[in-house]
Chains A and B, each alone.
With several copies, the nearest count.
Chain A
Amino acid sequence: VAVVQTSFAKGLQISIPQVPDDPTKQMGVPPGKVGTRSAFEKLAKNASDISSRSPLQDLYGTITPSDLHFERHHNGVPAIDPAKYELLIHGQVERPTVFTLADLKRFPSVSRIAFLECSGNFRTGKETMSPQEICGLTSQSEWTGVLLSTLFREVGVKPSSSWFLAEGGDAALMTRSIPTSKGWNDAIIAYAQNGEALRPEQGYPVRLFLPGWEGNTSVKWLRRLELGDAPWQTREETSKYSEGIKGGKIRQFSFDIDARSIITFPAYPVQIQKGWIEIRGLAWSGRGKVSRVEVSTDAGKTWKLAELQEPILDKAHVRFRHLWQWNGSETEIMSRVTDETGYVQPTFAQLIDARGADTGGYHFNPITVWQIKPDGRVLNRPENFR
C-alpha cells in the first residue's frame, strides 16, 4: 500500500503490487490449482442495490469474464445447495416431473455463445458517463445446458399449452410468462457458463436461457415451470418490463432485444491523442445475426463500414473495429448496427418519435454519441426524454 500523487488521484491511497526489479533473475511462482488475476488489473462491475454493470470499456473480444457478467436481481443472490436442487415441470403436461441437477445433466446437451441483456439497459443524462454506465447491463457467455424442447418431450407438454410460467428459487420468487413456442424453439435450461457451472450471480445451479430475449425472462435459480394456456400477468410483465408507446398505450411481452451497438473505445473516461485510432465496440441483435456496423466520425454526416470480427454468431455480441485518423478537431463519433432482418439501430430522436415522449427506459437502444473534444477528452452526448 502506497500513497501516490497524480493529476487524477491526489493523495489517494492505492495498493501497488510488489514486483521484483528484474523478474528474469528470480524464480517465479510455481503452477497452481487455480489461476489468478494480475493484481495490476482492477476490473470491477458498477454495483447498486439491484444491479451491477459490466465494465464494457475495459473488456476485449466478445466473451465476458464470468465474474464480470452483469447482475440484475430482485432480491439478491440465493445460496443453493446443488445436491438439494430440483426443477419441477407441471401443469399442461402428460407427466408432471421433478428433475435433479444430475438428471438435467444426463440429457443431450447444447452449448451456444450468446449475449444476455437487461431490457432496462439504458442510462443517459450527463457527459461523464462510460460505456459501463450507459450500457453495462449486457454480457456474453458460452451457455451449456439441455434444450427445453428435450424436457418438453420428456414430460409430454400438451398441444393446448401456449404459455408457461418460469419461476425462480430466489427471495423474489421471480416469475415470468413465456410463450410455449419459445420453449419448443431455442430455450435452454442452462447449467454451465463459459466452461464451468453457472456462477451464483447468473443463476446457479440452473437458469432459463432465452436467446435474444430481454434478460429478465431468462429466469435464474429456476425451480419450476408450469405449462398453461394464457399468460399469468405477473408483476414483472405488467408493472415492470413494459413500456409506454404512442396513444397512451403500454406495450407488453416485448421480448426481442432490438439491434444495438456501442463504441467502447474511445469512450469516456479515456483521453485520446492525434493520429491513428482503432475505434472498437460491440454490436448485437436479439433477432438474429449482425449484418453490418457503420461508424461515423463526422457527427453522423457520413458513415463507413466497420470490420466485424468473425465468427458472427446468431444473437451474439460481435466485436467491430474501424480505423480512424484523428486530426485533433472537435467532432462526434458513433456507431449503428444493421441486423439480418434489415433493422437499423435508431437515434434517440427516432425512438422518441416512434414511441412518444411517455416511453421509458425499457428496450431503449439508441445510437450512443461520443463527443471528441480538441484536447482529446471523450464525453457522452446526453439525451433528454423531454
Chain B
Amino acid sequence: GVLNTDSLPTRFGYGKPASAVQITPLDIDVRPDGQGLPAGSGTATTGAVIFAAKCAACHGAGGVGGPNGSLVTTTPAPGKRTEKVIGNYWPYATTVFDYIQRAMPFSQPGSLTNEEVYSLTAYLLTANKLLDEKAVLNAQTLPKIVMPAQKLFVPDDRKAGPEIH
C-alpha cells in the first residue's frame, strides 16, 4: 500500500503560497513556552465576573459541579475517585488559555476576546490555588506558572512486543 517514491517529482506545484494574512487568524495555538500567546492581559477578579456570566451554568458556581464537570480541585466524597481537573491533572497552564480560546464557551466557541481569555485563565488558576488572586496574567507571566501535575506526566513507554503495559 505504499507509493513508490522514486517516481515522484520533487514538487507537483499544486496549492497556493499561504500569506501572513491567511495564516494569522488561524494560528491561535499556544504552546507551553508561551509561543502563540497574544498581547493583552487579565486578572482573576475580572475573570470571576465573566465566569459567573458565561461559564458557571455548565461548570458550576466557582467552577465546581455543574452539568459539564468541575474545573477546580475538590475533596472527593468518601469512596469516590478524585475528579481530574485543572488543579490536579493539567500539566501546563498555557493549555487553559489555548483550550478556552478555541473551544469555550461550548455553545459560542471563538467568541471571547484575548482579555477575556486571560482573565478566565487567571480566575481558574486562582480558584485552583495556583495563582495569587492579584496577579496579572499575560504572555510573559502565564508560561512561567509551574503546574503540580507536570512532574507526573511521562511520555508513552510502551514498546511493541509481548510486554503488557
Residues of chain A at the chain B interface (Cβ within 8 Å): 22, 24-27, 74-75, 88-90, 95-100, 103-104, 106-108, 110-112, 147, 149-150, 153-155, 165, 167, 171-173, 175, 186, 223-224, 226, 228, 230, 232-235, 238-239, 242, 245, 248-256, 258, 275-276, 287-288, 307, 309-311, 314, 323, 325, 341-344, 346, 350-351, 353-355, 358
Q: Establish whether residues B109 and A165, one from each chain, have CB atoms under 8 Å apart when the complex forms.
A: no
Q: Are B95 and A233 in contact (CB under 8 A)?
A: yes
Q: Is the CB of A173 within 8 A of B10?
A: no
Give Cα A149 to B84, complex, Å. Answer: 37
Q: Which B residues form the contact surface with A (CB < 8 A)? A: 1-5, 7-18, 22-23, 26-33, 81, 84, 86, 89-92, 94-95, 98-99, 102-103, 106-111, 149, 152-158, 160-165
Contact yes or no, B31 A253, CB < 8 A: no
- Identify which of B5, B13, B155, B158 contacts A258 (C-beta below 8 A): B158
Q: In the complex the two chains form, is B1's CB within 8 Å of A309's CB?
A: yes
Residues of B within 8 A of A276 (CB): 9, 12-13
**30 A–B contacts, CB within 8 A, in A order:** A27-B109, A88-B23, A96-B23, A98-B15, A103-B14, A106-B12, A107-B12, A107-B14, A108-B3, A147-B2, A147-B3, A171-B103, A175-B29, A224-B27, A226-B29, A234-B95, A234-B99, A238-B89, A239-B86, A239-B89, A249-B153, A249-B154, A250-B149, A275-B12, A275-B13, A307-B3, A307-B4, A311-B1, A323-B8, A354-B165
Given contacts A226-B29, A248-B152, are A235 and B7 in contact (CB under 8 A)? no
Looking at A107, A154, A253, A258, the one whose CB has the most chain B CB atoms below 10 A away is A154
Q: Which residues of B contact A258 (CB under 8 A)?
A: 158
Candidates B27, B90, B103; contact of A75 at CB < 8 Å: B103
Cβ contact within 8 Å between A153 and B160? no
B155 CB contacts on chain A under 8 angstroms: 251-253
Contact of A186 with B154 in the complex, beta carbons under 8 Å = no
CB-contact partner of A106 in B14, B90, B92, B111, under 8 A? B14
Q: Is the CB of B156 within 8 A of A251?
A: yes
Chain B residues contacting A89 (CB-CB under 8 Å) are 18
Docked-complex contact A251 and B8, CB < 8 angstroms: no
A110-B2, A309-B1 given; A238·B27 CB < 8 A: no
Contacts of A346 in B (CB 8 A): 164
CB–CB A252/B156 < 8 A: yes
Q: Which residue of chain A has the shortest Cβ distance to B149 in the bound complex? A: A250
Which of chain B's residues have a CB closer than 8 A to the CB of A97? 15-18
Q: Tell me, rounded to whole Å, the shortest Cβ–Cβ distance linking B109 to chain A.
A: 5
Whether A233 contacts B32 by the Cβ 8 Å rule is: yes
Taking a contact as CB atoms under 8 Å apart, the answer to whether B91 and A233 are in contact is yes
| Contact assessment for A90 and B31 in the assembled complex, using a CB-CB cutoff below 8 Å | no
Q: Which secondary structure characterizes the binding site on chain A?
A: mixed
- Please determine whether B158 and A256 come into contact, CB atoms closer than 8 angstroms: yes
Residue in A closest to B163 when the chains form the complex, CB atoms: A343
Nearest neighbor of A355 in chain B, beta-carbon distance: B165
Is there an interface contact between A350 and B164, defined as CB atoms closer than 8 Å?
yes
Task: Let me know if A343 and B160 touch, CB within 8 A.
Answer: yes
Given the interface contacts A226-B29, A251-B154, does A343 sit within 8 Å of B162 by beta carbon? yes
CA distance A232 to B14 in the complex (A): 29
- If A172-B103, A344-B162 touch, whether A103 touches B15 (CB-CB below 8 Å) is yes
Q: CB distance A310 to B1 under 8 Å? A: yes
Most buried by B among A147, A167, A228, A235: A235
Q: Is the CB of B109 within 8 A of A25?
A: yes
Contact across chains for A238 and B92 when beta carbons are under 8 A apart: yes
Report, nearest first, the 8 A-B pairs whose CB atoms are least far apart: A341-B160, A173-B102, A235-B99, A96-B18, A254-B156, A99-B15, A103-B14, A97-B15
